[in-house]
Structure 1
């Protein structure tokens, strides 16, 4: 079936998947460095010298070569390509159902973004767990399918949904806050810019602003999610307590720089590519 003949939700899924593919390939190294920073924090003794982003980056290149920075890219693709497609198709469907015309208000944007992320986050959580384990360097999985089988066999299927609450507490607010800031920033653009050839660049800039704010707000939940998924025997409350006791409040912002860079750039690129593709095929995003 040609894309032009497909239902609008399928078109949104395809556009979202392609935008997710581009952004994942470019920014996977930042996600790996973020995960390594957070898992290194979990193995450090209280009072130890903190490891920085550049140190982790150089260490990965030195011990695993340059391609080591893309370790975990296969589960990232397995999660992001369908995950971003599910997110954008759900977002599009919700927007068409509840908002026939006009831009969403701030509250509506939060609900649309959060609702779409809830659906995508739950569906793709098993792949998210495998992706986190690939990146942390503690597990020696060979493939995504092999990792899924190994976890089910040794830990039980429930382990594939470890960190569900922390993941939703991170991703749902991030997406809701991001869509709110992004839509409001776009609405504030002068009409002559929105209608000009520089509109994609302006939209990308709005996405960067929205991404930075949303990343900082949700960083503590990302730290907890990583700890729970790497150590599935931990409960969310235990992970929160461990991080606070061992590292204080600053422990909840470990990996904030690479995560903010990655989430901001990925979200800005994904939304820009998605909206341009939707416009190209004649649909209003």
Structure 2
């Protein structure tokens, strides 16, 4: 057991899982607001005027109390804790295998991030589907395991992989773009900054920049993914058509503000915590 825990990839998994736990608990309200905006739920209906992040936030607090902002946190934990662990352990393993003696360039960074996210995204997709349904407010599931069982019995196991294409189109480019911008901006920092006590703060700033850019590029795919997972009878192409017919191009950017805030802060915090923990364990992240 001790030998297993001593394996670098296992340590990367544990570091990633801890970073995912912290970021999920802090930023779950932003994810819920983003999902409600994209599906126009939670007491806010079409035709009620301009719908913004604060409108949905106030509506959730008014109808579901403050704790309603953490609705879906259980499936978020069930997805993020192992999911981020899988992501970072896969990232670490791929980097050690292909770039053991060198730092990856822009293309290599994109491939590392995309490869790690593909493995984690496919592995955790069933829980992602349940998490999205918890947050949208249309389903009355009581637990993650109960929801998984209900979906399998009523819709079939295939429903747990609804939105797979849209999820990969969102997450794989996001991770690839994020890792590329993050690694390249970090590499461009002056040596006196990257080796100083303020290095974590500088890295955090690099992460913020990378997260904003990656979030905006992949926002349309996130909207499509949400619609497919909430309405499993919709196919990806049909979801794109419905969104465009109902809301035009701006419909593909619904929830962009809370999602950008959440994804940027979560990714930045996860990477900062992960790198600091790996450094304390004597491993190069």
Instruction: Report the TM-score when normalising by structure 2.
Output: 0.97
Contact 1:27 1:262 in 2 (8 A): yes
Q: CA deviation at 1:246?
A: 1.0
Once residues 102 and 202 of structure 1 are traced to their aligned partners in structure 2, the CA distance between those partners, rounded to angstroms, is: 22
SS of aligned partner of 2:217: helix
Question: Offset of 1:245 from its aligned partner?
Answer: 1.1
- Using a 3 Å threshold, how does the CA distance of structure 1 residues 205 and 119 change in structure 2: closer, same or farther? same
C-alpha separation in 2, matches of 1:5 and 1:223 = 39
Q: Residue 153 of structure 2 corresponds to which residue in structure 1?
A: 153
1:5 deviates by: 5.3
CA 1:120–1:4: 2 relative to 1, 3 Å: closer
Deviations 1:128-156 (A, max 9, x none): 00000000000000000000000001100
Alpha-carbon distance in 2 for matches of 1:6, 1:157:
36
After the TM superposition, which parts of structure 1 deviate over 2 Å for at least 4 consecutive aligned residues? Answer: 1-5, 47-50
Aligned to 2:49, the other structure's residue is in SS state: coil
What is the rounded CA distance, in whole Å, between the counterparts of 1:7 and 1:61 in structure 2? 45
What are the ranges of 5 or more consecutive residues in structure 1 without an aligned counterpart?
A: none
Match of 1:137 in 2: 137
Taking the aligned partners of 1:207 and 1:54, their CA distance within structure 2 comes to: 25
Count of aligned positions: 283
Q: Give the conservation status (yes or no) of the 8 Å contact 2:110–2:179.
A: yes
CA deviations 1:25-69 (Å, max 9, x no partner) are 00000000000000118x965x76331100100111111111110
Preserved CA contact (<8 Å) 2:5 2:11: no
The alpha-carbon deviation at position 101 of structure 1 amounts to 2.1
Task: Tell me what 1:128 maps to.
Answer: 128
SS in structure 1 at match of 2:40: helix
Q: Once superposed, what is the RMSD of the aligned Cα atoms?
A: 1.4
Tell me whether 1:115 sits opposite 2:115 in the alignment.
Answer: yes
- Counterpart of 2:179 in structure 1 is 179
Alignment-derived partner of residue 88 in structure 2: 88
Gaps of 5+ in 2: none
Mapping of 1:176-255 within 5 angstroms? Answer: 176-255=176-255
CA distance in 1 between counterparts of 2:115 and 2:127 reads: 20
Matches of 1:198 and 1:273, distance apart in 2? 14
Distance 2:88 2:58 in 1: 35
- Quickly say closer, same or farther: Cα 1:192–1:97, change in 2 above 3 A: same
Asked if structure 2 preserves the Cα contact closer than 8 Å seen for 1:4 and 1:281, the reply is no
- Shift of the alpha carbon at 1:100? 1.1
Query: 2:77 is matched with which residue?
Result: 77
Instruction: Give the TM-score taking structure 1 as reference length.
Output: 0.97
Note the alpha carbon deviations across 1:244-278, whole angstroms, 9 max, x for none. Answer: 11111000000000000000000000000000000
Residue aligning to 1:24: 24
**Counterpart residue number, 1:66:** 66
Q: Summarize the Cα distance change of 1:107–1:153 in structure 2 as closer, same or farther, 3 Å threshold.
A: same
Give the Cα separation in 2 of the matches to 1:115 and 1:130. 24
